[in-house]
Structure 1
Amino acid sequence: MADIFEVGIVGSGIMGAGLAEVAARAGHDVVVRSRTQAGADDVLARITKGFDRQVKKEKMTADERDAIIGRIRGTDHLGQLATCDLVIESVVEDLGIKKALFAELEQIVKPEGILATNTSTLPVVELAMATQRPELVCGIHFFNPAPVMKLVEVVRPVTASDDTITRAVDFAERCGKDAVLVEDRAGFIVNALLFPYLNNAIRLCENGTASMEAIDTAMQGGCGFPMGPFALLDLVGLDTSLAILDALYAEFCDPNYAAMPTLRRKVAAGQLGRKSGQGFYSYE
């Protein structure tokens, strides 16, 4: 079993930055690839800003900050990922875009390198079959925010080798995470259970059972959840939530996965949650 030393991250959004931070904290050299150099540079700036706050609060030393930042470099060129032992993509949840990316990565990353996806729902096997190394493709699903959340779902498509899965689990554990193994089914564990709940919260509101504020308060107070379903939908992103529900429904045809009309209308209106300033709640 080959060790993982250098890690590539494709994507410069919130999750991409979080993955870069987690991997660098664990001692890995990290290459962050964005579509633009400015985007890659912004990842480093955001991570540095967060570390600066921790130094100020004496939660880390300046030397620790500098050592971690020194292990991260940004690029706009996929070719810079050629020497990576593991590449994790964290781009938009669109199967076609991800398949094209994996086909390109397969031509670039060294033959023994693992290609992983951070998808929360999409079929990993389809990404594996877009390459000539399906045995080296798996899912490594971190949760947002990656530096804080302890869980990682390691997703095994039918094509993955035992060695690939062992290395993926080892990587997650070296990053200080709790790795759980899951078969390649839409939604894996967490989203397969979570999104019917979120969808049915919208259903309750639509049929007049209670207001969204009342539902959020009830689920926090009655179940001890840290936030209610509508606040959580806004945090996840309504567009992401809709994409997950559509993927779940496409695989299982379960009515609980059929996205409620309110969710579709809000996404059509560009009301995507916290990231757009308006979702079920207003953040402006």
Structure 2
Amino acid sequence: METIARLGVVGCGLMGSGIAEVAALRGIDVLAAEATREAAEAGRRRITGSLDRGVLRGKISEEVRDLALARLSFTHDLGNMADRQFVIEAVAENRDIKTNVIQTLDKVVADPRAVLATNTSSLPIVDLAVATERPEQVIGMHFFNPVPVQTLVELIPALTTAEDTLDRTRRFATEQLGKVTVQAPDRSGFVVNALLVPYLLAAVRMVESGSASAEDIDRGMELGCAHPMGPLRLLDLVGLDTAQAIADSLYDEYREPLYAPPALLRRMVAAGRLGRKSGRGFYDYSA
């Protein structure tokens, strides 16, 4: 088996920092990239804070934390990804931004066999693949938040993805990162979000129509259906802007009303009420 020793992660937000943390804990050298020096330092602080919390909770030792931090380095120049064997982009869920990142990686990553993976939640993988000179090496690799806790990774090969790329990505995810994989079709939403998003949007419509409060909807699903988190708390965790982007992509693909973002969701995003990351969504996190 080919072992990936040098991983690149582009984007140090919630998803990218989680991917980088997991890989570093599993003994992989990780280079994490952000758009600016300040953003890269913020990513470093996010990962360090997460590892420190792991120590405080007794999940990892101080030695394990220190070894993981030693395997992490940060950059704001994608040109430094040249020596990476495998790169995962985890930037904003925006087609233009992701396309630009993938095209840049295509130019700078020297190894012609290097896998270029995208952590998109909903965008067609083939659209990103054909923007490169190596479409056979591009694949979807959809992690779930929070990455250090959630075990699932969806693997999404495009029509252009080589079978060898799929096999190498599956082995990397399972044998090196310790994840469980499912293979999904290259259609918007893949498997999980194609099922999950209509449920989340239905909860928003219930609030919008006055049928039930956010608290009662969440309590009902948590206690009545044994869900670990109700749909509106989950939306606040994911980010309402991210949820809207995924819903828009699903609606563009399927043109079915159940995928259309409700007006309330759009208004909350416009007002900056994005959930936990902004301090307020369906719930208030300012305290």
Which deviates more, 208-217 or 266-275? 208-217
Q: CA deviation at 1:68?
A: 1.2
Counterparts of 1:58 and 1:269 in 2: how far apart (Å)?
Answer: 39
User: Residue 156 of structure 2: SS of its match in structure 1?
Assistant: strand
* Matching residue of 2:169: 168
CA deviations on 1:168-187 (whole Å, 9 max, x unpaired) are: 11111121111111111100
Q: Summarize the alignment of residues 214-225 of structure 1 with structure 2, pairs less than 5 Å apart.
A: 214-225=216-227
CA deviations on 1:199-236 (whole Å, 9 max, x unpaired) are: 11122222332222211111111111112111111111
- Matched letter for residue 115 of structure 2: I
CA deviations on 1:147-187 (whole Å, 9 max, x unpaired) are: 11000001111110011001111111121111111111100
Residue 58 to residue 209, structure 1, CA distance change in 2 (3 Å):
closer
User: Residue 183 of structure 1: SS of its match in structure 2?
Assistant: coil
Q: Summarize the alignment of residues 84-95 of structure 1 with structure 2, pairs less than 5 Å apart.
A: 84-95=84-95
Q: Do structure 1's residue 150 and structure 2's residue 148 form an aligned pair?
A: no
* Matching residue of 1:59: 59
- Matched letter for residue 212 of structure 1: A
* Matching residue of 1:276: 278
- Matched letter for residue 280 of structure 2: Q
Paired residue total: 284
* Matching residue of 1:36: 36
User: Residue 282 of structure 1: SS of its match in structure 2?
Assistant: coil
User: Residue 263 of structure 1: SS of its match in structure 2?
Assistant: helix
Q: Do structure 1's residue 20 and structure 2's residue 26 form an aligned pair?
A: no
Give the TM-score, by structure 1 length: 0.96
Counterparts of 2:61 and 2:227 in 1: how far apart (Å)?
Answer: 34
Q: Summarize the alignment of residues 157-196 of structure 1 with structure 2, pairs less than 5 Å apart.
A: 157-173=158-174, 174-196=176-198
Counterparts of 2:160 and 2:18 in 1: how far apart (Å)?
Answer: 28
* Matching residue of 1:98: 98
Residue 45 to residue 269, structure 1, CA distance change in 2 (3 Å):
closer
- Matched letter for residue 32 of structure 1: A
Alignment gaps of 5+ in structure 2:
none
Q: CA deviation at 1:58?
A: 4.0
Counterparts of 1:54 and 1:97 in 2: how far apart (Å)?
Answer: 32
Q: CA deviation at 1:56?
A: 4.0
User: Residue 50 of structure 1: SS of its match in structure 2?
Assistant: helix
Counterparts of 2:228 and 2:171 in 1: how far apart (Å)?
Answer: 30
Asked if 1 retains the 8 angstrom alpha-carbon contact of 2:25 and 2:64, the reply is: no
User: Residue 82 of structure 1: SS of its match in structure 2?
Assistant: helix
Counterparts of 1:262 and 1:49 in 2: how far apart (Å)?
Answer: 34
* Matching residue of 2:268: 266
Give the TM-score, by structure 2 length: 0.95
Asked if 1 retains the 8 angstrom alpha-carbon contact of 2:16 and 2:90, the reply is: yes
Counterparts of 1:159 and 1:65 in 2: how far apart (Å)?
Answer: 39
Alignment gaps of 5+ in structure 1:
none
Counterparts of 2:263 and 2:53 in 1: how far apart (Å)?
Answer: 42
Q: CA deviation at 1:48?
A: 2.4
Which deviates more, 91-100 or 47-56? 47-56
Q: Could you say what the CA RMSD is over the residues aligned between the two structures, in angstroms?
A: 1.3
Residue 199 to residue 113, structure 1, CA distance change in 2 (3 Å):
same
CA deviations on 1:44-96 (whole Å, 9 max, x unpaired) are: 23322332333344432322222111111001111110011111001111101
* Matching residue of 1:255: 257
Asked if 2 retains the 8 angstrom alpha-carbon contact of 1:3 and 1:167, the reply is: no
Counterparts of 2:169 and 2:73 in 1: how far apart (Å)?
Answer: 22
Asked if 2 retains the 8 angstrom alpha-carbon contact of 1:124 and 1:138, the reply is: yes
Counterparts of 1:143 and 1:199 in 2: how far apart (Å)?
Answer: 19
* Matching residue of 1:207: 209
Counterparts of 1:53 and 1:145 in 2: how far apart (Å)?
Answer: 14
* Matching residue of 2:72: 72
* Matching residue of 1:124: 125
Q: CA deviation at 1:28?
A: 1.1
